[in-house]
Structure 1
Amino acid sequence: MSSNTLDGLQSFTERHDYHSWLDLQLDNVDHGKVQISIPANENLHNPGRNGLIHGGIAATLIDTASGFALRTTFEDPVTARLATTDLNVSYLRPATGTLIAEAKVLRAGETTGVTDVSVKSTDEDESVAAGRTTY
């Protein structure tokens, strides 16, 4: 993918209030694949849970990484319109630190796309969640 695609998609996240609040970063973009991350931030922790990140953050990463991976299969990734129709999240262990999601498109059809996603923690360098989405 071109650096214009990465720049365009990163600009999209900066204009999106929720993505911007999360400080979501696109780390790597390729056709049908993306890597995104959310830096460690105390605002994402569960109250009183010793620095454990709320599960909704991993779910957000799975949903968002999937959408960006699918966008890379469109002629114009920045203006593509998508809607999640199914989101499956399996939590594997408690999440801490910076979270990194890697999404891969399994199918990009005329009306439906399916992705697989793995979310890792930089603190443990282990998967904390796995997911699959349908758009």
Structure 2
Amino acid sequence: MSKTNGTVDPAELQRIVDSHDFLSWLGLAVETAERGSVELTMADDDRFRNPFPGDQGPIHGGITATLVDTASGFVLRTTFDDPLEATLTTTDLDVSYLEPATGNVRIEAEVVRAGGTMGVADVTVSSAHDEGGERTIAVGRATYRLFRDA
């Protein structure tokens, strides 16, 4: 994977998204990626919304949880010598929902710690709102088992 001054080529992580049926269906875009930090975006789409009668509901919480999990995995990949070949798996996922997501979404993930076998990442999910601007709609933390010797 290409790295320059701690920067990871977002296009290389984007290839992971594009080759994965579910992540590509979500339309995730890798905006930035560097060692210990990634930013993803997801465009608003009616397919992701809760079915509220007579009204357009908010984005389903399962989508938000997926975004926290995915961003955590991507940011922890940046701590490997070869992020594209990294082997890791979620061991714990916590999501706190603060407000409904009602528009385009931005996901920012930061590594809290990445050791030899375990990694922890914090994630903030923000969404555009009808009143304008962007608000934090969820925060999350994921713990991953890192297989550095795989």
Please say which structure displays the higher CA radius of gyration: 2
Letter in 1 for 2:71: A
Aligned match of 2:125 in 97, 119, 123? 119
Please state how far the C-alpha of 1:7 moved relative to its aligned partner: 1.5
Instruction: Give deviations 1:64-98, integer Å, cap 9, x for gaps.
Output: 00111000111101110110000000000111111
Contact persistence 2:110–2:123 (CA under 8 A): yes
What is the aligned-residue identity percentage?
49
Aligned length: 135
Q: Determine which of 110, 115, 124 is the counterpart of 2:116.
A: 110
1:90 aligns with 2:96: yes
Tell me how far 1:8 sits from its aligned partner. Answer: 1.3
Shift of the alpha carbon at 1:6? Answer: 1.5
Name the CA distance, whole Å, in 1 between partners of 2:79 and 2:9: 11
1:50: Cα distance to partner? 2.2
Unaligned runs of 5+ in 1: none
Q: TM-score, normalised by structure 2?
A: 0.86
1:116 maps to a residue whose letter is D
Runs of 5+ unmatched residues, structure 2: 145-150
Q: Distance in 2 between matches of 1:4 and 1:94?
A: 31
Does the alignment pair 1:68 with 2:74?
yes
Greater strand share, structure number: 2
CA distance in 2, matches of 1:17, 1:77: 20
Contact 1:5 1:78 in 2 (8 A): no
Q: Retained in 2: the 8 A contact 1:90–1:131?
A: yes
Question: Matches of 2:82 and 2:11 in 1, distance apart?
Answer: 13
Q: 1:10 aligns with which of 9, 14, 37?
A: 14
Moved more, 116-125 or 39-48: 116-125
